[in-house]
Amino acid sequence: MEFGFWAMAADQPDQIAVVEPDGTEITAGAMLARCNRLVHGLQALGLEHGDVVAAVMPNCAEFYTVYLACLQAGWYFVPINNHSVGPEIAYILENSEAKALVAHERFADACVAGAKEAGLAEERCFAVGEVAGFRPITELIDPHPETLPPRRAAGMVMNYTSGTTGQPKGIRRSLSGVSPEDAGIGFGGILMLFGINPRDDNVHLVGSPLYHTAVLVFSGAALNFGHTVVLMDKWSGEGMLERIEKYRVTHSHLVPTQFRRMLALPEKQRLSYDLSSMRHMIHAAAPCPVDVKRRMIEWWGPVVDEYYAASEGGGTIVTSEEWLRKPGTVGKKWPISEVAIFDDAGNLLGPNEIGTVYMSMGALNFEYHKDPAKTAASRIDNYFTVGDLGYLDEDGYLFLCDRKIDMIIWGGTNIYPAEIEGELVSHPKVIDAAVFGIPDEEWGEQIKAVVEPAEDVEPGPELEAELLAFCAERLARYKVPKSIQFVAELPRDPNGKLLKRKLRDPYWEGHERVI
């Protein structure tokens, strides 16, 4: 059997490849034809192997058209966060040296401004819908044939990191030069780690923005394995449950925040949907509090799989059954990976010793685009790190403590916010929580908590006292927050990643924070 979307689509053109957010169904044959035409059109513009195509789009079938075109034409595909403003788009276009941009009309103003600032010629800017000064994408697609294009070779996605510190950086890997079909098993291979195989009547549900690395990796893998992909434009807990029942969804990818939102639904509402089709509810991207995950497994059954990885690579994996034996773990290493813990001096640590988590995936071939210093700083030999702290137990299971940048140092003692956040969100009156350090003249840092109360819960001094008392019963005294602030909603990106710096940085203005 040949793998890869192109072979799968040619073999079963009537298979539904994508279900749009509005319910429109796109067959694999129709998507393949449009993808081929787009490659012909961009090749006619002069694009060659190794060139970059960027896109700013919502969750829609056209997003995959551009993605699949790049993956069969030997180009790099750069998905840009559709919340970006003009200068942010311009930076990525310039840094990646994009030769073409595809923009959706929903984000017209920012894309026009970004393309202009980056100096990208108008004839290389294409619009889904109407964008002033951009050519309709139909002009690039419709005049060209549906046949497979010439000079086919496997392309690659080049994601830009979120830019927690400094400007975002592109994660660039070398192109293999092999055919898209030969690379197809690699494009879909992430699913095989979870026992998800090609075909098998699988249906993947996308509830988060496609510009996020993991969301595109998993849904793109589904397309390359011949699965149907169901898209949501804006996620909601009940909306997801409805689609699982309607489309008999077998697997999806979520983050813990989405778990909490679904668990917060009224019980009668939660239990009114048939979720029996689900085989793998995969999650990652943020620490999942033990209580939250346990409740999800009780509700959905042993289908809640977790992994730890980064845009740069990975990783570890753990099934529900394993997790129940070792609550809190993010699993053991992938068969193709290595995981190790090092101290700040670069010494390898032993079992149950906390340090920086490093990973390796065979031949380490990624670099931070145009930033050799950052590339070098992230490495020890063939290992790389994204700055997470954790330890391996005696059985090789990885437990994460927190991001090094988020760790609180109180009087010389290391405190991990994720532990405190996990306790806070287990309280029935809390829907979300963030914990971080703020300046303290005597102790260096003190613990600050910001809490999003559950619906219909009144914030104020009484709730603060109740939560602090709750923490005091479950945490050592030095880990209990000194104060709690209440907000209507914590700042998270659309994929659920907590933007903690937005909460923490104002407290540190005029102070030097030692990490």
List residues bridging with 448 in a β-sheet. Answer: 436, 483
Per-residue pLDDT at 510 exceeds 90: no
More confident residue, 30 or 260: 30
Same fold, 27-149 and 177-301: yes
Q: Which range, 116-125, 437-446, 472-481, has the best average confidence (pLDDT)? A: 116-125
Q: CA 67, 68, 73 angle in degrees (round to 5)?
A: 105
Per-residue pLDDT at 424 exceeds 60: yes
Contact 60, 231 (CB under 8 A): yes
Place of tokens 């780690």: 193
Contact 258, 235 (CB under 8 A): yes
> Residue type at 9?
A
| Residues above pLDDT 90, as percent of the chain | 76
Alpha-carbon Rg for the chain, nearest whole angstrom, is: 23
Lowest-pLDDT range of 126-135, 315-324, 381-390: 381-390
Contact 59, 79 (CB under 8 A): no
Query: How far is C-alpha 18 from the geometric centre of its chain's CA atoms?
Result: 20
Reply yes or no: is the peptide bond before residue 315 cis, omega within 30 of 0. yes
Query: How far is C-alpha 455 from the geometric centre of its chain's CA atoms?
Result: 27
Q: Residues 261, 388, 309, 163: is their CA dihedral positive or negative?
A: positive
Per-residue pLDDT at 5 exceeds 80: yes
| Domain 177-301 architecture | 3-Layer(aba) Sandwich (3.40)
Report residue 364's pLDDT band, with 50, 70 and 90 as the boundaries: low
Longest dimension (CA), the chain: 71
Report residue 401's pLDDT band, with 50, 70 and 90 as the boundaries: confident
pLDDT at 128: 98
What does the buried/exposed string (b/e) look like for 336-349 if buried means 16 or more CB atoms within 10 Å of the residue's CB? ebebbbbeeeeeee
Q: Is 506 helix (H, G, I), strand (E, B) or coil?
A: helix
pLDDT at 164: 47
H-state helical runs in 236-334: 237-247, 256-263, 267-270, 290-300, 320-325
How far apart (Å, rounded) are the C-alpha atoms in residues 226 and 216? 15
Residues 447-470: what's their mean pLDDT?
95
Q: Which of 182, 225, 219 is nearest to 200 (CA)?
A: 225
Q: Could you tell me the residue ranges of all domains in the chain?
A: 27-149, 177-301, 407-508
Contact 253, 208 (CB under 8 A): yes
Q: DSSP character for 240?
A: H
Residues 452-476: what's their mean pLDDT?
93
How far apart (Å, rounded) are the C-alpha atoms in residues 272 and 270? 6
pLDDT at 414: 81
> Residue type at 430?
V
Contact 231, 203 (CB under 8 A): no
The CATH class, in words, for 27-149 is: alpha beta
Report residue 261's pLDDT band, with 50, 70 and 90 as the boundaries: confident
Residues 88-94: what's their mean pLDDT?
95
Q: What are phi and psi of 48, to 5 degrees?
A: -125, 170
The CATH class, in words, for 407-508 is: alpha beta
How far apart (Å, rounded) are the C-alpha atoms in residues 53 and 156? 11
- How do residues 38-65 score in pLDDT, each as one tens digit? 999 999 999 999 999 999 999 999 999 9
How far apart (Å, rounded) are the C-alpha atoms in residues 127 and 31? 18
How far apart (Å, rounded) are the C-alpha atoms in residues 444 and 162? 28
